[in-house]
Structure 1
Amino acid sequence: MTVGGVGRAAVAPWFGARDLLRSRLSHKQASDLGDAFARFAPLPLQRACERAFDFPIAKIVRGTPLLLIRIPKTASVSLALQVYGQVSHVPHRSAAFYRDADPDFFARATSFAMVRDPWERAASAYRWLRGCGNDLAAPDRRGRAAVAGVDSFERFVLDVLEPMAASGRLRHLDPVLHRQCDYVCDAEGRVIVDHLFRLDHMAEVQAFLAANGVSGGEVRANATERAGGGGQDASQAVLGALGQVYADDAALFGYGPPGCGP
């Protein structure tokens, strides 16, 4: 087998080192390294890395005119499977990451993302963390530590999520808890994704995919994304705390607190 024209045996030490490095880094550290590489590495070096290691932009991503910006806990697995046929080479990366890695590619591609009610997404993320992830992904040790000994969603929001966000450390938590706007906006808060869809308007993204030649299958949210919680049954303290943590998401995507309408 060859990788970008290089024999797999020749790059085997790289794959081993990569896997070891990933096992030692938190999600934030790994993301920061990737972002820094995309932002500061010379473009010829990035293209050479893609030929050898399929990074920073995977071949499968370059091979379709649609660019999915995968936001965790927004049916992104189902979307990736429908658009690309797989998820392993389509990581959760921001639009700014792709723009920095290859401005011409980003300008040519039709980028899109699915966003979600921040209150419901936070509850889904908590369930995912409590369940230690799923068969496709698992929280890192910081993600597991964040929910260890926390016996309710309310305590998680008030004792973990809100204090971390207030101290500017939200990105130290698992990406399932990161702000959605950070995936679709630039550093000045401007949306740089061509199309945004809402999880509660699933038919719209399905029509968009069909119009762009993507067929076969249907976008579906998984069990934790479909389940309720964190909405009507949450206390006012929890709703208020989540409103503070995800204020920019709610404002940008047009969501109001549960019971107040969109």
Structure 2
Amino acid sequence: MLVFWKENLVFLAVPKTGTTAIEGALAPKAAMVLRDPPTIKHAPIYRYRRFLKPLFVQAGGREPETMAVLRHPVDWLGSWYRYRGRPDLDGHPNSTKDISFDDFVLEYTKGKPAPFANVGSQAKFVCDGDGQIAVDHLFRYEDQDRLIAFLERRLNVTLDLPRLNVSPRRDTALSPAVEAKLRDRCAAEFAVWDQASGSS
């Protein structure tokens, strides 16, 4: 999470959406950089509203705007799948080394997935308790030009985002039947990505 106090903007770091590169580029500009623990670094909107927003409002007398980046659900799951297939997770319950991408996604669609597919929800990250998007500025990972233009304009910076924390290469082709099941059981994930326009 990055807090830009003068610019009245809080960047909420959705995991596996390029946040490490953004943090690396913008940390010098930020008033606060919350890196650890992960529950704070990757605090979703509901946790931010409960614990941090009241503090910021009290200190600054105004409510900071929030922003976040979402990745297409299939691509987002593919990134998690590749990330958890890295060698240092061999033998760990989170490892996807010997699991196909189809099986990973099928497990993800369950109410209580096994540890290797328990990667959270982008929809829950950016929505309130009623399922409504609660982040002010929501961008698609796939539309880097719009994201960068917003950050450059809002923060008065010039950005050249490097590729950091890149997951290992693996086959992430999803069969049509499994994708259909994902779209049916996790419709909210696709709905929030569809609504992420990067409006400024």
Structure 1 letter corresponding to 2:184: Q
**8 Å CA contact retained: 2:93, 2:115:** no
Q: Structure 1 or 2: larger helix share? A: 1
Q: Deviations over 1:182-227 (max 9, x none)?
A: 11111111111110000111111101111112525423554339x6
The one of 70, 81, 88 equivalent to 1:126 is 81
Which residue number in structure 2 is paired with residue 218 of structure 1? 160
How far off its partner does 1:87 sit?
A: 6.2
The one of 160, 179, 183 equivalent to 1:243 is 183
The count of corresponding residues between Structure 1 and Structure 2 is 180
The one of 88, 95, 102 equivalent to 2:45 is 95
**3-state DSSP of counterpart to 1:155:** helix
Matched, 1:179 2:129: no
Q: Distance in 1 between matches of 2:118 and 2:14?
A: 8
- Cα separation, partners in 2 of 1:149 and 1:127, compared to 1, 3 Å: closer
Q: Distance in 2 between matches of 1:128 and 1:218?
A: 24
Q: Distance in 1 between matches of 2:99 and 2:20?
A: 28
**8 Å CA contact retained: 1:61, 1:84:** no
**8 Å CA contact retained: 1:118, 1:250:** yes
Please show how residues 29-48 of structure 1 align to structure 2 within 5 Å: none
Q: Distance in 1 between matches of 2:156 and 2:23?
A: 11
Which residue number in structure 2 is paired with residue 48 of structure 1? none
Please show how residues 87-236 of structure 1 align to structure 2 within 5 Å: 88-89=35-36, 91-104=41-54, 105=56, 108-131=63-86, 144-147=92-95, 150-158=98-106, 160-162=107-109, 165=110, 168-170=111-113, 173=115, 177-222=119-164, 223-224=166-167, 229-230=171-172, 233-236=173-176
- Cα separation, partners in 2 of 1:221 and 1:181, compared to 1, 3 Å: farther
**8 Å CA contact retained: 2:73, 2:193:** no
Instruction: Name the Cα RMSD after superposition.
Output: 3.2
**8 Å CA contact retained: 1:120, 1:228:** no
- Cα separation, partners in 2 of 1:202 and 1:185, compared to 1, 3 Å: same
Structure of greater Rg: 1
Q: Distance in 2 between matches of 1:176 and 1:62?
A: 31
Q: Distance in 1 between matches of 2:53 and 2:155?
A: 24
Gaps of 5+ in 1: 1-57, 134-138, 256-262
Structure 2 letter corresponding to 1:74: T
Provide the TM-score with structure 1 as the length reference: 0.58
Q: Distance in 2 between matches of 1:204 and 1:153?
A: 30
- Cα separation, partners in 2 of 1:212 and 1:117, compared to 1, 3 Å: same
**8 Å CA contact retained: 1:74, 1:221:** no
Which residue number in structure 1 is paired with residue 198 of structure 2? none
Structure 1 letter corresponding to 2:149: A
